[in-house]
């Protein structure tokens, strides 16, 4: 009998498992399932980027790098962020290359949180935010975002959710899973509040290139924000490089230095092969990225139109590659909807509750897949809807 569970720390033992894992277990055993549950690009990494990784191996460049990342990559990140987001970061002490945004968020929280500190973040959100906070013995403070606001963070809701002891505000625009974005006016109000309450803002902008309507604005570019914002970004989504596991953090030197301590003891450095590929992505990847963005936009228009036709109200996400239809009108909660849909029609969508309580009544459907699959999935969802009693 395995009773090794007694060795597991209390705060880990009580951490809920990701709702996505249960779903994955079922789908992976099912033949002929059409999955709209994939949270990564369906494109293969553009070949010139893969070729840079091959060339790195050919040249025998297989060593550790500087803990912060290679000089070349930090220089390119500095240039890229200044050009497309605004703020200028010093490659010497304000940029850290990480194993994706996931690591960046984890080490950032570990570097800044004391036990009992509180962290504000908007929900529905990426699955790791609340657990990462809990693992730091800190307290997650979710702020509900609403379909009626297109899942943008309402500054009034932020103010209402604030509590004494709140130290960090995590933002993620465009948002996984809702595709919510925040315009300049909203961000200005949020920034004002962050300054008033002396919050450190963590801005996860991993989907920023995949903004379909209007310009993406980074909160780090607003007056007074650079010194209290850590900008997190990576290559997975825009350049279809998920398996390379490469991202970065830009921020004020003292915070980056704190992160560097956690990073150097825990990780050492990101893979040099991925770093060289990342340099190529930043130098020459823009055309491929824009091409992929156009494809996502076309598929978005299709899937959102179909969901609305099928009687699943769905707002038009302005960024990322997820539709977030409301399924509560069917009389089913999101978990039941997703389970029955999978069981009866073999279509996988992710129940909204996997992204926090605020996701109740919704499901996430990725449109990062072919037209053929999206079309087939929608036909099957239509057949599934026909079996449900009308409400």
Partner 1 sequence: MNSVLKLILEGESLDTAQIGKILGMGPEAVERELADLRRQGILLGWRPIINPSYEAERRVRAVIEIKIRPEGVGGFDGLAERISAFEQVESCYLMSGGYDLLVVVTADNLYKVAGFVHERLARIDGVQGTSTHFFLRAYKKDGFIVNDEGLRRDQPSVSP
- Is there binding between residue 44 and partner 1 (CB under 8 A)? yes
The interface region with partner 1, picked from 70-78, 213-221, 268-276, 372-380 by CB under 8 A, is: 372-380
- The dihedral over CA atoms of 26, 29, 33, 35, expressed in degrees to the nearest 10, equals 60
CA distances from 278 to 177, 231, 282 (A): 25, 17, 6
Judged on CB neighbours under 10 Å (0-12, 13-18, 19+), 64 is exposed
Q: How far apart are CA 150 and CA 281, in angstroms?
A: 31
Shortest CB 176 distance to partner 1, Å: 8
Q: What angle do CA 288, 293, 298 make, to 5 degrees?
A: 130
Please report the DSSP string for 40-53 in residue order: S-SSPPPHHHHHHH
* Contacting residue, 27, 101, 187, 250, with partner 1 by CB under 8 A: 27
HEC assignment per residue over 169-181: EEECCCCCCCCCC
- Is there binding between residue 51 and partner 1 (CB under 8 A)? no
- Is there binding between residue 20 and partner 1 (CB under 8 A)? yes
The interface region with partner 1, picked from 38-46, 55-63, 81-89, 193-201 by CB under 8 A, is: 38-46
Centre a 10 Å sphere on the Cβ of residue 178 and count the other Cβ atoms it contains: 32
Under a CB-based contact definition with an 8 Å cutoff, are residues 178 and 360 in contact?
no
- Is there binding between residue 306 and partner 1 (CB under 8 A)? yes
* Contacting residue, 11, 28, 265, 268, with partner 1 by CB under 8 A: 28
* Contacting residue, 96, 109, 348, 363, with partner 1 by CB under 8 A: 348
Q: How far apart are CA 121 and CA 103, in angstroms?
A: 18
- Is there binding between residue 375 and partner 1 (CB under 8 A)? yes
The interface region with partner 1, picked from 33-41, 54-62, 103-111, 209-217 by CB under 8 A, is: 33-41
Measured between alpha carbons, how far apart are the two ends of the chain, in Å?
50
- Is there binding between residue 24 and partner 1 (CB under 8 A)? yes
Under a CB-based contact definition with an 8 Å cutoff, are residues 182 and 152 in contact?
yes
Nearer to partner 1, 126 or 162 (CB): 126
Shortest CB 355 distance to partner 1, Å: 9
Footprint on residues 148-177 left by partner 1 (CB under 8 A)? 176
* Contacting residue, 15, 18, 84, 267, with partner 1 by CB under 8 A: 18
Shortest CB 145 distance to partner 1, Å: 18
* Contacting residue, 137, 261, 291, 305, with partner 1 by CB under 8 A: 305
Q: How far apart are CA 106 and CA 309, in angstroms?
A: 41
* Contacting residue, 55, 67, 72, 128, with partner 1 by CB under 8 A: 128
The footprint of partner 1 (CB under 8 A) covers 18, 20, 23-24, 27-28, 33, 35, 37-40, 44, 126-128, 176, 302, 305-306, 348, 350, 354, 370-372, 375, 378
């Amino acid at each position: 009998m395995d009773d090794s569970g007694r060795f597991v720390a209390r705060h880990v033992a009580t951490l809920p498992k990701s709702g996505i894992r249960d779903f994955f277990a079922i789908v992976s055993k099912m033949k002929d399932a059409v999955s709209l549950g994939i949270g990564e690009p369906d494109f293969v990494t553009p070949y010139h980027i893969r070729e840079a990784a091959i060339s790195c191996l050919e040249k025998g460049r297989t060593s550790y790098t500087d803990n912060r990342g290679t000089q070349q990559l930090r220089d390119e990140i500095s240039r890229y962020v200044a050009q497309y987001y605004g703020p200028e970061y010093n490659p010497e002490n304000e940029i850290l290359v990480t194993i994706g945004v996931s690591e960046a968020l984890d080490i950032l929280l570990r570097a800044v949180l004391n036990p009992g500190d509180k962290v504000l973040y908007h929900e529905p959100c990426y699955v790791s935010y609340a657990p990462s906070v809990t693992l730091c013995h800190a307290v997650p403070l979710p702020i509900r975002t609403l379909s009626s606001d297109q899942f943008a963070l309402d500054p009034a809701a932020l103010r209402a959710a604030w509590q004494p002891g709140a130290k960090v505000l995590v933002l993620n625009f465009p948002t996984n899973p809702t595709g919510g974005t925040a315009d300049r006016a909203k961000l200005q109000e949020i920034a004002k509040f962050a300054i008033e309450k002396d919050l450190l803002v963590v801005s996860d902008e991993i989907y920023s290139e995949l903004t379909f309507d209007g310009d993406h604005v980074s909160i780090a570019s607003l007056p007074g924000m650079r010194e209290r914002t850590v900008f997190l970004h990576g290559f997975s989504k825009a350049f279809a490089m998920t398996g390379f596991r490469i991202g970065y953090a830009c921020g004020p030197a003292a915070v980056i230095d704190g992160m560097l301590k956690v990073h150097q003891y825990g990780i050492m450095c990101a893979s040099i092969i991925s770093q060289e590929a990342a340099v190529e992505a930043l130098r020459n990847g823009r055309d491929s990225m824009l091409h992929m963005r156009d494809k996502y936009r076309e598929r978005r228009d299709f899937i959102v139109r179909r969901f609305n036709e099928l009687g699943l109200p769905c707002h038009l996400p302005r960024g990322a590659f997820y539709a977030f239809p409301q399924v509560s009108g069917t009389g089913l909660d999101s978990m039941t909807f997703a389970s029955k849909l999978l069981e009866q029609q073999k279509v996988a969508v992710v129940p909204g509750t996997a992204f926090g309580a605020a996701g109740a009544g919704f499901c996430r459907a990725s449109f990062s897949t072919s037209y053929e699959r999206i079309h087939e999935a929608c036909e099957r969802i239509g057949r599934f809807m026909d079996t449900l009693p009308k409400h």
